[in-house]
Amino acid sequence: MSDFDTFKGIQKKMKAYQTVLSIASWDSNTEAPKDCFPYRSEMLSIISGEHFSLTTSKEYKQAINSLLAQSEDLNDNQKREVEKAKKGLDKIDKIPKGEYIEYNKMRTMAQRVWEDAKENDDFEAFKPYLEKIINYQKKMVAYRSDTDVPYNVLLDDFEEGMNMEKYDEFFDLIKEELVPFVQEILEAKEKENDDFISRNYPKETQKEFVEYLLDVFDYNLDRGGLKESVHPFTWNTHSKDVRLTVRYLENFVFSSIFAGIHELGHALYEQQIDEVFDMTNLGNGASMGIHESQSRFYENVIGRSKEFWNVHFTKLKSLFPEQLKDVNVEAFYRGINRVEESFIRVEADELTYPLHILIRYEIERSIFNEGTNVDELPDMWNQKMKQYLNIDVDKPSNGILQDVHWSGGMFGYFPTYALGSAYAAQIYYTIKEEIDFESLIEEDKIHKINEWLKEKIHCFGSSLKPEQILKIVTGEAFNPKYYIRYLKEKYSDLYL
Ligand code: ZN
């Protein structure tokens, strides 16, 4: 058997375990009764163990290393498959097994402690765990790389090819251009009559509208499905099984509509990946940033546009005649694009959102590169909130304790959220030149937009790197200026 056959054979087994684990996790998040978990986690840990043994088996490592040594015999996709496998392998293989297990135990603990700390507004309780997680992360970076810029290793883990130099340029631009612009908008903003937002919208009717949206966006129900969950998410095993969930809040209808369109964006991406990648490790989106660019493109660029609601507001109003009786499409459009200074990232509007990310980026950078102490973090957070959003944080749950990421050791993740929005803006200025984008939305022909995105982005799965995809789509490297331009155009038009 050739090395490549050996490699593929083991990968297929790994895929089989992953499929079982994924299906179980879908069930855990949507259907499973609450008492089933102790038994279930014991059974699943056996499957995970089998998967882990395959990933770290001698046979697998040997196959990868020998393929890397003779990579000129492989075609581009095969080369990429092997490179990706090697990268995944290094992440676990270079860290001593005992430390890896210990770290994962501690992380599970830290997440629980974080939940309570947030509930009780008690940063001191979480502090020792945060410190341990940071120390572990630093140590693990050192095992994997001898870089003097440790944060770069973490940034690259979440977005291949990105580093501090590029992110610094991006976030400096946000700081220089967007921070003053947001203040200008907030000062110009007048009190709008938008209390329709928080009226009561019965869950069953919201569901009907979300199902209507699945159709509008041409989501393929033969390859997917819709359920309800506490936190909306997209789930997939391969291009022919891509499902999503939404959450229905009766006094906040925007949650099911816009988080729904957001997840639809992730799901359409996965459904449109070329099926030749189904049986490989290239059958997923290209990166966190590119994935997020698609979900935000659908949610914000299409879903929060005037053109979209010019055609679909009538449907919404027919479902909620009482709740929307005094609302016209213009008022609705202003309501869905309302700008506000707020504490919580996940509730932030499209314009202020990147400032929340800017804060997290600067803090992470100083933790990993300047050795900032955990004691200093709450004040640093609050001071930056004041500086960039001009608000005073009143308690840790509205500040440093709000996000789950750090308790799970995910440093370097946040920047990809803002990067995704910036990619989306860059893609927007290209698509406008190539097809009649606004008219297609207004004529209810989103499938034409899907086709364009499929051909330029989705079909490749992760066979290409983010920077290669951006080059194919837009003809240039990542350029954050488009993002600033997009936000300024949209929000000047709305507010100035
Ligand atoms: Zn997303």
pTM as predicted:
0.95
pLDDT at 190: 85
Q: What percent of the chain has pLDDT over 70?
A: 100
Using CA atoms of 31, 34, 38, 42 in order, give the dihedral in degrees to the nearest 10.
10
Interval 301-355: pLDDT, tens: 999 999 999 999 999 999 999 999 999 999 999 999 999 999 999 999 999 999 9
Interval 430-485: pLDDT, tens: 999 999 999 999 999 999 999 999 999 999 999 999 999 999 999 999 999 999 99
Lowest mean pLDDT among 51-60, 166-175, 409-418: 51-60
How many angstroms does the Cα of residue 287 sit away from the middle of ligand 1? 12
Exactly one of 263, 270, 292, 350 is catalytic; name it. Answer: 263
How many angstroms does the Cα of residue 326 sit away from the middle of ligand 1? 33
How many angstroms does the Cα of residue 344 sit away from the middle of ligand 1? 16
Interval 62-93: pLDDT, tens: 999 999 999 899 999 999 999 999 999 988 88
Task: Assess whether 263 carries a catalytic annotation.
Answer: yes
In 237-278, which residue ranges form alpha helices assigned H by DSSP?
253-254, 260-271
Residue 281 Cα distances to 26, 303, 326, angstroms: 20, 31, 52
DSSP codes of every residue in 150-163: HHHHHHHHHSTT--
Closest by Cα among 257, 173, 250 to 211: 257
How many angstroms does the Cα of residue 292 sit away from the middle of ligand 1? 5
How many angstroms does the Cα of residue 168 sit away from the middle of ligand 1? 23
